[in-house]
């Protein structure tokens, strides 16, 4: 089964949002062995939308659209699908009833314009709304068309409840499994030099690289009749790659550094607290991204102002005076302060200069990260590159990498 | 000028990353009056990549690709472009020299495989590398093709330095200007009911809606011969819309809530500190997203564990005991604690249940946000919806909306 994802909405083409729906759907389809060969995005324009949907139906078996199902006049996905399939729109009375009671339950009157949302192309099967916008799917000789709303959580819920069950059967016997080896501290080309011969020899799993923000992901993707057989194809190759990359490969235990660190802490029954400055809260946010973070995460002190580093974290005045807020000594004192203030086993810290201007003589991209565990405190200096956002993300990667190294030691 | 953006990389189709490059380029092109009608994405497959690039060149004047320019064997954008244009690849010696000295300066040896990156299609003009991957562009009878690397900051730097100057001339006289009215506390359909007649009457500016995470953006887009004339077209319509939406429209002062709040604080010479729990650091991260945040942001105490709320923020034990960590009273004490601990003028707080499981009897989606300024403390209860990520983002929106209301009062 070949699927294609069409993002709908002028906000995508004006760059006001990223197409995260395409990412979420692609990632879900990969796990059930549905191949996605193309993404596209088109604006709220009936003609171009119809043209893209028709083109997609010609080259793919399943087309999933996201967006354009709302109540406002710029939402014309229903019309575009009807046009491509050569059918009319009919009001779905079941959905209309649900919509009315949705508003009633909240004690609000339903704007009449909302009923546009329940006018579906003839022959379409309704997908019950999660918020107010229903989705639908149509089985047609050209292929299967599935229309989902653009609001990410509404789309996500329909994907889980309706789309994946619908396509899982159809995808048949082949299952795709992907695994990633996270590499920190070694660039993309040096990573490749170490494993080039393995990459060249392999066709199942295939191996690809993804680099960004101080991390390289080596992705192994295998296809097989079952998840177990796909995993069995990946296992020896992954082992080989890990042994070549040595300490630079993050030990298995999750698909992201926060997950790896979280799982290591959970296994030890240990807790963590953070002291961060240039990252403004991103380290805490990353560690609490996934559910269950309260098992190990106690809190973070975002000490952006220098005074806050002293008052909240207890970084000694002479450390700040003689070394400055961006220094090895301050990172060390912050890691210690985080552990002490929150009463955590592991204290992490990050201080640095995100830019765009240098600070107290330190150039943009200067980063110090620290980790305090037991009676040891380790500090590393890392060079961030790129823009402000990039420097901040590299700092998050660096402190989490130091955390996993300290926990492994 | 019609442009089209082609994202390259199997990681996009497997859903491992979102295509944020398409967003960034689209947003930049909109400001110089270049229309983007389509986005697409394709994997690291020479044949399908060539097919997509060729299709894009047929329907658009300018095609911008991102990705596939790295040193590893899965990077085949250079080959695909050469194939579509019917030319060969030649090594660019200038770029080769730069690449060697890039590695020398860092005291590293250059892996030979890196030289693949400087083999450009014949007739291409090189764009100097920001990291190690150079870009290029080709003027061809089919149209202009511009190939940029996939790493966001490398792409972004080339976009600013080379692509925008190249296209700005060509875009000629028409300029597109977009403005957004941020609406918090009123759903998309209720927003539309209030301004439907204005939307129906308008063709320049056009008006569209974008809803998500507790916020609706009403986007006005005008085209004119100059930025000033485009702004003049927008101004009266925006004013009209703002007056209809009343207090639900966030006063002008930035394109995002953190910007609006930051600018209000800057104008007052006031400082802010945050006490957050369910958001894990996202409120601090949002407030420090843009440069210059040190003008007003002092810090944030991420008190994830209940003990940290008491010890770090000084939330009284009896408040926690009798009301629980997710309560109006705790939000109130946290806002006060944030202001006190960091010595800030404005103290903000957010506590709640992000899910997936309920906590201490409070259902998933329960959110309390607080703001303390001068001798006033205001608390609001907000209902988050959707998944964990959605609930957390709604909490960020809610606390920043409360902040701007308190600062306006």
SS (H, E, C) A325-344: CCCHHHHHHHHHHHHHHHCC
d(CA B378, CA B358): 25
Q: What is the CA radius of gyration of chain B?
A: 25
Query: What are A63-97's pLDDT values in tens digits?
Result: 999 999 998 889 999 999 999 999 999 999 999 99
Residues A6 and A42: their CA atoms lie apart, in Å, by 7
Q: Min CA distance, B252 vs chain A (Å)?
A: 18
The partner residue sitting opposite B305, judged by closest CB among A7, A279, A294, is A294
Length of chain A: 409
The conformation of residue A362, written as its DSSP 8-state character, comes to: B
Instruction: Say whether B280 and A300 touch across the interface (CB within 8 A).
Output: yes
- Rounded Cα distance between B220 and B178, Å, is 6
Helix %, strand %, coil % for chain A, to 5? 45, 25, 30
Measured at the alpha carbon of residue A28, what is the angle toward residues A24 and A30, in degrees to the nearest 5?
A: 120
Cβ-defined contact of B342 to A114 (cutoff 8 Å): no
| B287 close contact with A: CB closer than 8 A | yes
Å from A91 to nearest chain B CA?
Answer: 19
Let me know if B288 is exposed, middle or buried by CB neighbors in 10 A (0-12, 13-18, 19+): buried
pLDDT digit string (tens) for A268-284? 999 999 999 999 999 99
Read off the pLDDT band of B118 (50, 70, 90): very high
A65–B contact, CB cutoff 8 A: no
Average pLDDT along chain B = 92
Name the minimum distance, in Å, from the CA of B219 to any CA of chain A.
Answer: 9
Are the Cβ atoms of B341 and A390 closer than 8 angstroms?
Answer: no
- Would an 8 Å CB–CB cutoff place A280 in contact with chain B? yes
The reply to whether B232 touches chain A by the CB within 8 Å rule is no
Nearest to B371 by CA among B326, B341, B401: B401
B363 secondary structure, DSSP code: P
CA distance A165 to A341: 48
Which range has highest mean pLDDT (A178-187, A395-404, B359-368)? A395-404
Mutual orientation of helices B46-59 and B77-85 as an angle, nearest 10°? 50
> pLDDT value at position A286?
97
Residue A368: its pLDDT value, please? Answer: 98
Share of chain B above pLDDT 70, in %: 100
Task: Tell me the per-residue pLDDT of A300-345, one tens digit each, with 9 for 90 and over.
Answer: 999 999 888 888 888 999 999 999 999 999 999 999 999 999 999 9
Q: Does B304 touch chain A (CB under 8 A)?
A: yes
Query: What average pLDDT does this structure show over A360-371?
Result: 94
Angle A227-245/A188-201 helices, nearest 10 degrees? 130
The Cα B173–Cα B187 span in angstroms is 37
Task: Name chain A contacts of B312, Cβ cutoff 8 Å.
Answer: 299, 301, 312, 341-342
Question: How many beta-carbon pairs below 8 A join chains A and B?
Answer: 349
Looking at CA atoms only, how far is residue B376 from chain A in angstroms? 23
What is the DSSP track for A79-131?
HHHHHHHT--EEE-HHHHHHHHHHHHHTT-PPPGGGGGGGEEETTPEEE--SS
- Looking at chain B, the number of H-run helices and the number of E-run strands are 15, 16
| Entry pTM | 0.80
% residues pLDDT > 70 (chain A): 100
Give B 328-347 residues with CB within 8 A of chain A. 341-343
User: Which range, of A125-139, A273-287, A363-377, B204-218, averages the lowest pLDDT?
Assistant: B204-218
Range 200-219 of B in CB contact (< 8 A) with A? 200, 208-212, 217, 219
Q: Is the Cβ pair A192, B276 closer than 8 Å?
A: no
Q: Torsion angle, CA of B357/B362/B365/B366, rounded to 10 degrees?
A: -150
Token pair 């085949």: residue? B76
A63 to chain B nearest CA, in Å?
A: 14
Ordered strands of the B2-8 beta sheet: A125-127, A135-140, A143-148, A62-66, A2-8, A35-42, B35-42, B2-8, B62-66, B143-148, B135-140, B125-127
Contact A189 B132 (CB under 8 A): yes
Q: Kindly state whether A383 is in contact with chain B, defined as any CB-CB distance less than 8 angstroms.
A: no
For residue B23, list chain A residues with Cβ-Cβ distance below 8 A.
Answer: 12, 15-19
- Which two three-digit tokens encode residue B127? 């764009």
Contact: B30, A7; criterion CB under 8 Å = no
Cβ atoms of residues B98 and B39 within 8 Å: no
Residues of A in contact with B283 (CB under 8 A): 281
- Which has more pLDDT, B343 or A227? B343
| A13 and chain B in contact, CB less than 8 A | yes
Mean pLDDT value across residues B33-42: 93
Strand A62-66, strand A143-148: pairing: parallel
Shortest alpha-carbon distance between residue B283 and chain A (Å): 7
Per-residue pLDDT for B171 more than 80? no
* Burial status of residue B300 (CB atoms within 10 A of its CB: 0-12, 13-18, 19 or more): buried
pLDDT above 80 (res B254): no
B280/A386: higher pLDDT: B280
Residue B270 contacts A, CB cutoff 8 Å = no
Asked if pLDDT for residue A175 goes beyond 80, the answer is no
DSSP states of B65-124 as a string?
EES--SSSTT--HHHHHHHHHT--EEE-HHHHHHHHHHHHHTT-PPPGGGGGGGEEETTP
Higher pLDDT, residue A114 or A148:
A148
pLDDT given for residue B187 in this prediction = 81
Interface with chain A: mutation pick from B8, B32, B33, B41, highest number of A CBs within 10 Å? B41
Mutate to test the interface with B, among A28, A189, A212, A341 (most CBs of B within 10 A): A189
Q: What is the mean pLDDT of residues B252-278?
A: 92
pLDDT tens digits for range B70-81:
988 899 999 999
Is the CB of B22 less than 8 angstroms away from the CB of A19? yes
Q: Count CA atoms closer than 13 A to B134's CA, side-chain side.
A: 27
**Do strands B62-66 and B2-8 pair parallel, antiparallel, or not at all (unpaired)?**
parallel
Which chain A residues touch B209 with a CB distance below 8 Å? Answer: 70, 72, 74
* Across B329-336, average pLDDT: 97
Q: Is B201 exposed, middle or buried (0-12, 13-18, 19+ CB in 10 A)?
A: exposed
Tell me which chain B residues have a C-beta less than 8 angstroms from the C-beta of A287. 280
Strand partners, B125: B137
* pLDDT computed for residue B110 by the predictor: 86
Q: What is the pLDDT of residue B173?
A: 56
B residues 121-180 lying closer than 8 A (beta carbon) to A: 131-132, 151-154, 156, 178, 180
Distance of CA B362 to the CA centre of its chain: 32
**How far is it, in rounded angstroms, from Cα A340 to Cα B140?**
64
Helix axes A46-59, A77-85, angle to 10 degrees: 50
β-strands A366-373, A376-383 pairing: antiparallel
CA distance to partner chain A, nearest, from residue B316 (Å):
17
3-state secondary structure at position A20: helix
pLDDT grade, residue A173 (50/70/90)?
Answer: low
Q: Among the listed ranges A23-27, A396-400, B101-105, B405-409, which one has the minimum average pLDDT value?
A: B101-105
Chain A CB contacts of B222 below 8 Å:
none
Q: ipTM greater than 0.85, yes or no?
A: no
Q: Does B72 touch chain A (CB under 8 A)?
A: yes
In 3D space, the residue among B317, B406, B188 whose CA is nearest the CA of residue A9 turns out to be B188
Burial of B356 (C-beta count, 10 Å sphere; 0-12/13-18/19+): exposed
Mean pLDDT across the stretch A21-34?
89
Cβ-Cβ contacts under 8 Å, B212 against chain A: 17, 151-152
B198 in contact with chain A, both atoms CB, cutoff 8 A: no
Dihedrals φ, ψ of A68, to 5°? Answer: 75, 20
CA distance B284 to chain A (A): 5
For residue A223, what pLDDT band results from cuts at 50, 70 and 90? confident
CB proximity B281 to A under 8 Å: yes
In this predicted structure, what is the pLDDT of residue A37? 95
Q: In degrees to the nearest 10, what's the CA dihedral of B284, A398, A371, B309? A: 20
From CA B143, how far away is CA B164, in angstroms rounded? 16
CB contact under 8 A, B72 and A189: yes
Query: Burial of A247 by CB count in 10 Å (0-12 exposed, 13-18 middle, 19+ buried)?
Result: exposed
Interface test with B, best of A42, A72, A347 (most B CBs within 10 A): A72
pLDDT in tens, B192-238: 889 999 988 888 998 888 877 889 989 898 888 888 999 999 999 99
Distance between CA B105 and CA B102 in Å, rounded? 5
Contact by Cβ (8 Å): B43, B182: no
Residues of chain B with C-beta less than 8 angstroms from the C-beta of A388:
291
Angle, in degrees to the nearest 10, between helices B257-268 and B388-408: 30
The residue among B49, B153, B161, B207 with the most chain A CBs within 10 A of its CB, best to mutate, is B153
What's residue A396's pLDDT?
A: 97
Look at the block and give the residue holding tokens 């990632």. A27
């Amino acid at each position: 089964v070949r699927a294609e994802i069409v993002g709908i909405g002028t906000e995508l083409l004006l760059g006001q949002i990223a197409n995260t729906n395409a990412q979420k759907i692609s990632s879900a389809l990969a796990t059930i062995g549905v191949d996605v060969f193309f993404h596209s995005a088109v604006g709220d324009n009936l003609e171009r939308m119809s043209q893209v949907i028709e083109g997609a139906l010609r080259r793919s078996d399943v087309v999933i659209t996201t967006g354009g199902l709302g109540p406002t006049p710029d939402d014309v996905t229903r019309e575009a699908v009807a046009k491509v399939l050569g059918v009319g729109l009919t009001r779905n009375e079941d959905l209309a009833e649900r919509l009315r009671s949705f508003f009633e339950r909240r004690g609000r009157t339903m704007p009449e314009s909302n009923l546009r949302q329940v006018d579906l192309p003839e022959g379409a099967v309704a997908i019950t709304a999660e918020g107010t916008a229903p989705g639908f799917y149509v089985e047609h000789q050209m292929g299967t068309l599935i229309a989902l709303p653009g609001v990410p959580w509404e789309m996500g819920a329909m994907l889980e409840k309706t789309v994946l069950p619908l396509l899982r059967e159809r995808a048949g016997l082949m299952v795709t499994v992907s695994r990633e080896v996270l590499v920190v501290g070694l660039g993309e080309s040096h990573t490749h030099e170490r494993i080039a011969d393995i990459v060249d020899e392999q066709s199942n799993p295939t191996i690809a690289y993804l680099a960004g923000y101080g991390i390289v992901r080596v992705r192994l993707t295998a296809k097989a009749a079952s998840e177990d057989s796909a995993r069995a194809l990946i296992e020896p190759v992954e082992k080989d790659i890990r042994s070549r990359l040595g300490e630079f490969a993050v030990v298995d235990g999750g698909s992201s550094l926060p997950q790896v660190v979280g799982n290591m802490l959970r296994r030890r029954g240990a807790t963590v607290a953070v002291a961060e400055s240039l990252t403004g809260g991103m380290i805490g946010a990353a560690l609490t991204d996934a559910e269950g973070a309260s098992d190990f995460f106690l809190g973070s002190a975002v000490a952006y102002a220098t005074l806050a580093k002293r008052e909240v974290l207890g970084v000694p005045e002479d450390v700040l005076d003689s070394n400055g807020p961006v220094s090895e000594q301050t990172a060390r004192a912050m890691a210690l302060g985080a552990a002490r203030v929150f009463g955590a086993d592991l204290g992490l810290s990050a201080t640095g200069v995100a830019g765009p201007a240098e600070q107290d003589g330190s150039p943009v991209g200067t980063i110090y990260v620290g980790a305090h565990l037991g009676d040891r405190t380790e500090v590393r200096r890392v060079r961030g590159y790129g823009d402000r956002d990039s420097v901040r993300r590299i700092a998050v990667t660096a402190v989490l990498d130091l955390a996993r190294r300290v926990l492994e030691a």
